[in-house]
Amino acid sequence: MMQKIGELNEKLDLLIKEYRKCREENRSLRKKVSEQESALEALNQEIALLKKDNELKKLATGLNTEEAKEKMSRQINQVIREIDQLLINLNEA
């Protein structure tokens, strides 16, 4: 009987050690995931900026075409509408 209790205690100790090991590994993996999510967000923001920069460069080099001028005009009008909406929201607040 005492031998069985001793064996159970040993198995319990092993289970507790394994649990702690798994819990620490889980904590470490969660930290890595969080870091990678942050890095991914930063990369997505950089991609968005690069896309905008690329679009501006395309427009700057192609402003001599009528189509490019129209596109630029539409974009400027859109920005003006967004600014107007922001001003309206500020005045209402």
9 or 57, greater pLDDT:
9
Dihedral over Cα of 82, 87, 91, 93: its sign: positive
User: What are 27-52's pLDDT values in tens digits?
Assistant: 999 999 999 999 999 999 999 999 98
pLDDT of residue 55: 82
pTM exceeds cut of 0.75: no
pLDDT over 90 for what percent of the chain? 59
Task: Please check the confidence at residue 65 and state whether its pLDDT lies above 70.
Answer: yes
